[in-house]
Amino acid sequence: MMQLQDILFSQGFGTRRICCGLIQQGLVQVGPQALVCTDPTELIPPEGLSFRVQGETWQYHAQAYLMLHKPAGHECSQKPSTYPSIYTLLPGPLRNRGGGAAAGVQAVGRLDQDTTGLLLLSDDGKFIHRMTSPRHHVPKVYEVQVKHPLDDRQVARLLAGVVLEDDPKPVRAAACEAVSEHHLRLTLTEGKYHQVKRMVAAVSNRVEGLHRSAIGSITLPPDLLPGQWRWLSAEEVLALTQKTK
Ligand code: URA
């Protein structure tokens, strides 16, 4: 059981004082019948709770795990230099939950400003670490549009390993296929800076478009349009973490 004011606070609806005020002003409705509750200390079981704050429906999640279809022209930084931040695509509570300096959900790794596709976000530090640590080899699938026609040699070199300028150890694709003359599908299990672009450049080609279609067991759903996000289901989170232990 949790007090209603603590539920709102934990979900990112502002400081405890603000949450208390929202409830006292009658702006919070609780449960399937959307009953107004004006007692901030009312004890409610939070799991599975749906509530409305100023008309906005929210689902209680002890921890946040979500997917975003990253559109082009957005930076993954909280403090972007040129383009808008991906965090502006998320509702306020997701950016504020937890309070404090490191509030809100964080991206699980980064995509370049011009890259589109699947991005996971969470406020669970252990999950982020597990998904980004090279030790866990989480496969990430990239759909790559390339400038010059692909040939077997380029594919073979990407699979065998190419040397990038800042690292003497070759990096190799876990899987690589030419889907068509200008479409390469590349699977990586690490995430170095500009890795796909640099690997493709190392085989004398050039990335003209980059889209991430999958991370581990999660594939970007076709109905999640650029800029849209949704919660991951408990099963999706479990599948991701079980396979990457
Ligand atoms: N590799 C890149 O070069 N860019 C990305 O955004 C992701 C992987």
pLDDT tens track for 168-192: 889 999 999 999 999 999 999 988 8
Nearest residue CA, atom 4 of ligand 1? 194
Q: What is the pLDDT of residues 24-51, one digit of tens each?
A: 999 999 998 999 999 999 999 999 999 9
Residues of the chain with CATH 3.30.70.1560: 139-215
In the set 6, 39, 112, 124, the catalytic residue is 112
Q: Which long-range contacts (CB under 8 A, 24 or more apart) does 197-202 make?
A: 197/112, 198/164, 198/165, 199/158, 199/162, 199/164, 199/171, 199/173, 200/144, 200/146, 200/158, 202/157, 202/162, 202/163, 202/164
Q: Any idea which fold 65-134+218-242 has?
A: Alpha-Beta Plaits (3.30.70)
Q: Which residues make up the CATH 3.10.290.10 domain(s) of the chain?
A: 2-59
CATH 3.30.70.580 boundaries in the chain: 65-134+218-242
Provide the whole-model pTM.
0.93
What is the C-alpha to C-alpha distance for residues 232 and 215, in angstroms, rounded to an integer? 13
- CATH for 139-215 is 3.30.70.1560
> What's the gap in Å between 153 CA and the centre of ligand 1?
22
Side-chain half-sphere exposure of 67, counting CA atoms within 13 A: 25
112 flagged as catalytic: yes
For ligand 1, whether the C-beta of 115 sits within 6 Å is yes
Q: Could you give the 3-state DSSP secondary structure of residue 225?
A: coil
Ligand 1 center–CA 24 separation, angstroms? 48
Ligand 1 centroid vs 190 CA: distance in angstroms? 11
Burial of 167 from C-beta contacts in 10 A (0-12 / 13-18 / 19+): exposed
pLDDT per residue over 188-245, tens digit each? 998 889 999 999 999 999 999 999 999 999 999 999 999 999 999 999 999 998 855 4
Per CATH, the number for 2-59 is 3.10.290.10
- The DSSP secondary-structure symbol of 165 reads T
Closest residue by Cα to residue 245 from 142, 140, 141, 126? 126
CA 176, CA 154: separation in Å to the nearest integer?
A: 10
